């Protein structure tokens, strides 16, 4: 199993001991509190769940700017995206604060943070972080729009996490922490594991891509690891994706070759930088390989189709990560061959030889109740998606 990032033991910040957790929760009731934004709450969940290992908490300005510039903290840890707690609210001179969850009714305490510094981001510093992470300052980019709305006050320091927000309750069969996944991999006797990141339902091309990658790297199994947090408007909700993916796995994958899991994070849409962050997550979960496909973690036309692969060659030092990247091409159903192929492996094909549908066309067909082509989507998966779109449209 692949060693956690940073060459040290996994460092989940969730307080696992029930008595200690209860005592901390009681003490948190007497602390100044801060209602954090969804981005900071997601960072807390990821810190608690071990995916952000070995980070001890939220970054200060020096580390955030260093990570933005060259993907290393001041101390030299490789890290692709700043882990921030940004706010416009004053916390006075508090030495510790209770972080309240914006995504759960009643705003319960999510974590307790030790305040090491409170610094203000200048306009130039916020622009630098934004442009380096997202590759653009366009306010129409959903990740840019979110980041610039979070506030200018950067509160840094280590945290202790009390719960996993809404993820455990809403997705009890799917949400898993990095230690839980590592244990499941060990229990299955798997050594080599290929991970597939998704924020969308999986169509036949995705299904076959997982099978191709598993065969190519001779992996013992596949980790389908779906994002369960907040997306942009128009994306399919996590519970629908979860149902569709589980149906596909149950019917079309060999038994005991796939783990369907999810993690509690909000999508950044940061393209190449987010692809590298995804690699860190999967290394911490014990995976040996991550599938990086066309426009991985992208949105609109902000990134080149294979920028998320190229970054591993041009900006990620060779020794920075232990996980390996499986580079996927466009994948589609070949009418000529009667099966899904990577398009780079079919140089004799014309565009008309492939069955490809745009996301817009897929949504139009589903919303109107028309079946998706069986070459594009398994019928059982298409039915789940069609029911959702028709329900939303009624």
Phi/psi for 109 (5° steps) reads -70, 125
Residue 191 annotated to the active site? no
Phi/psi for 344 (5° steps) reads -70, -20
The Cα-based distances of 386 to 203, 382, 383, 389 in angstroms read: 13, 6, 5, 5
Cβ contacts of residue 387 below 8 Å, gap of 6+?
Answer: none
Count CB-CB contacts under 10 A for residue 58.
29
Query: For the chain, first and last CA: distance in Å?
Result: 48
Residue 335 annotated to the active site? no
Q: What is the length of the chain?
A: 394
Q: Which of 11, 107, 191, 200 is catalytic?
A: 200
Q: Which of 21, 152, 199, 327 is catalytic?
A: 199
3-state class of 98 per DSSP? strand
Taking the C-alpha atoms of residue 303 and residue 297, their distance in angstroms, rounded to an integer, is 10
Cβ contacts of residue 137 below 8 Å, gap of 6+?
Answer: 127, 130, 131, 144
Tokens of 225: 């690891």
Q: Which residues are catalytic?
A: 199-200
């Amino acid at each position: 199993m692949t060693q956690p990032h940073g060459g040290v033991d996994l460092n989940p910040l969730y307080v696992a001991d029930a008595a200690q957790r209860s005592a901390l929760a009681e003490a948190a009731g007497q602390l100044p509190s801060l209602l954090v934004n969804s981005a900071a709450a997601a960072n807390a969940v990821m810190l608690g769940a071990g995916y952000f290992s070995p980070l001890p908490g939220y970054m200060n300005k020096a580390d955030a700017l260093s990570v933005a510039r060259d993907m290393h903290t001041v101390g030299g840890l490789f890290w692709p995206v700043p882990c921030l707690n940004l706010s416009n609210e004053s916390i006075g001179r508090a030495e510790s604060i209770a972080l309240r969850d914006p995504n759960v009714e009643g705003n319960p305490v999510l974590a307790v943070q030790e305040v090491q510094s409170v610094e203000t981001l200048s306009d130039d510093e916020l622009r630098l972080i934004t442009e380096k992470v997202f590759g653009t300052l366009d306010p129409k980019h959903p990740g840019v729009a979110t980041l610039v709305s979070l506030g200018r006050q950067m509160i840094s320091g280590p945290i202790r996490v009390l719960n996993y927000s809404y993820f455990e309750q809403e997705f009890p069969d799917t949400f898993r922490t990095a230690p839980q996944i590592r244990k499941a991999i060990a229990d299955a006797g798997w050594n080599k594991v290929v991970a597939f990141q998704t924020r969308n339902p999986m169509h036949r091309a995705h299904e076959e891509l997982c099978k191709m990658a598993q065969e190519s790297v001779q992996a013992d199994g596949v980790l389908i690891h779906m994002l369960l947090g907040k997306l942009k408007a128009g994306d399919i909700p996590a519970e629908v994706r979860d149902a569709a993916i589980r149906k596909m796995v149950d019917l079309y994958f060999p038994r005991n070759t796939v783990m369907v899991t999810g993690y509690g994070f909000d999508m950044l849409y940061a393209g190449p930088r987010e692809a590298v962050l995804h690699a860190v997550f999967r290394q911490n979960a014990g995976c040996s390989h991550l599938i990086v496909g066309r426009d991985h973690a992208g949105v609109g036309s902000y990134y080149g189709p294979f920028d998320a692969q190229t970054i591993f060659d041009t900006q990620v030092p060779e020794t920075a990560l232990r996980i390996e990247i499986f580079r996927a091409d466009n994948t589609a159903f070949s009418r000529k061959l009667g099966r899904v192929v990577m398009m780079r492996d079919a140089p004799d094909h014309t565009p008309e030889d492939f069955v490809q549908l745009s996301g817009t066309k897929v949504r139009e067909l589903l919303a109107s109740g028309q079946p998706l082509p069986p070459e594009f989507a398994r019928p059982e998966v298409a039915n789940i998606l069609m029911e959702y779109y028709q329900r939303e449209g009624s």
